Amino acid sequence: MYLSDKSELASPNIDRGEWSHLHHLLDLIGALADSHLYGRFLQPTLRPVQAGGLLFLEGAAATSIHVVRTGVFKVFRTTEDGYEQVVGFARRGELLGFDALSDARHCTTTVALEEASVYSVSLADFYALRQDLPSFDHGVMRAAAKAMVELTRVLEMMAAAAAEVRLARFLLHVSDCMSNGGHSPSSLRLQMTRRDIGSYLGVAHETISRAFGALMEAGLIEVDQRKIEILDIKALRRYSQSMRAPAKGDAPKS
């Protein structure tokens, strides 16, 4: 809701049809769109997904790959005992379903956390487009690589560190995503539950709750349900560097 209207404006005239879906998709993944491609290529389909709606299911045969246009998606795997392990949250411009290229089966379940939309390209069209349109190919490569970097960032976030530090890193990451999208980096609206965040960061959801309290206590953030205000981003960034929680009194000096 917040993103779509504004960001459409950033790509002028899309609504007047001057930009094709393909053109807009290229813009999303940061590929420079050549001007000569009007109608000459297969067009991706624009697919809306309602809040809570499923994009694809773990284990299902993959039919197409997607690029997020609006909204936020939760990407997770379900273990044998029913535990839900969140492996990422996908926002505007991110690639979804790429992992299925290894064996044509999705290895994650992906659902929308709010009203969302994606551009979808069937696997056959995907290869054809990449062959015919180098800028598309480049964009896809870059998006795939970025997704990989993203995953290693998650690992870093889960690395031996106190829960509060993990949460601080998470909030800073969301903040970065916001500012990249042209929003305020200090005013966040989280789309996911505490439980989702906990799964993502590898801690219990109660611990997330307490960590929010601790960061608020420390005067670093303001918390109102899922609306987060970052009060001192420099201090939060400093805080996120530490490995373990420096207790209440701060002062890591000895």
Partner DNA sequence: CGTGATCTTGAAGGGGGTCAACTGGAGTGG
Partner DNA sequence: CCACTCCAGTTGACCCCCTTCAAGATCACG
Residues making contact with a copy of itself (CB under 8 A): 77, 79-81, 83, 85, 87, 98-103, 107-108, 127, 130-131, 134, 137, 141-149, 151-152, 154-156, 158-160, 199, 202-204, 241-243
Asked if 116 touches DNA (CB under 7 A), the answer is no
Asked if 162 touches DNA (CB under 7 A), the answer is yes
Task: Work out whether strand 64-70 and strand 116-122 pair parallel, antiparallel, or are unpaired.
Answer: antiparallel
Asked if 204 touches DNA (CB under 7 A), the answer is yes
Q: Of a copy of itself, DNA, none, which one sits near residue 162, judging by CB under 5 to 8 A according to partner kind?
A: DNA
Candidate segments 64-72, 73-81, 109-117, 161-169, binder of DNA by CB under 7 A = 161-169
Residue found under tokens 């505490």: 194
Among 202, 222, 235, 242, binds DNA (CB under 7 A): 202
Q: Of a copy of itself, DNA, none, which one sits near residue 209, judging by CB under 5 to 8 A according to partner kind?
A: DNA
Based on the number of CB atoms within 10 Å of its own CB, is 143 exposed (0-12), middle (13-18) or buried (19 or more)?
Answer: buried
DSSP calls for 100-149: GGTTSB-SSEEEESSSEEEEEEEHHHHHHHHHH-HHHHHHHHHHHHHHHH
Token code pair at residue 53: 């709606």
The closest of 187, 214, 210 to 197, measured between CA atoms, is 210
| Closest CB to a copy of itself among residues 98, 212 | 98
Among 35, 102, 152, 225, binds DNA (CB under 7 A): 225
Contact 111, 38 (CB under 8 A): no
Distance CA 142, CA 244 (A): 34
Q: Of DNA, a copy of itself, none, which one sits near residue 210, judging by CB under 5 to 8 A according to partner kind?
A: DNA
| Closest CB to DNA among residues 152, 225 | 225
203-230 as b/e: b if 16+ CB within 10 A: beeebbebbbebbbebebbeeeeeebeb
Give contact residues for DNA (rule: CB under 7 A).
160, 162-164, 193-195, 202-210, 212-213, 223, 225-226, 243-245, 247
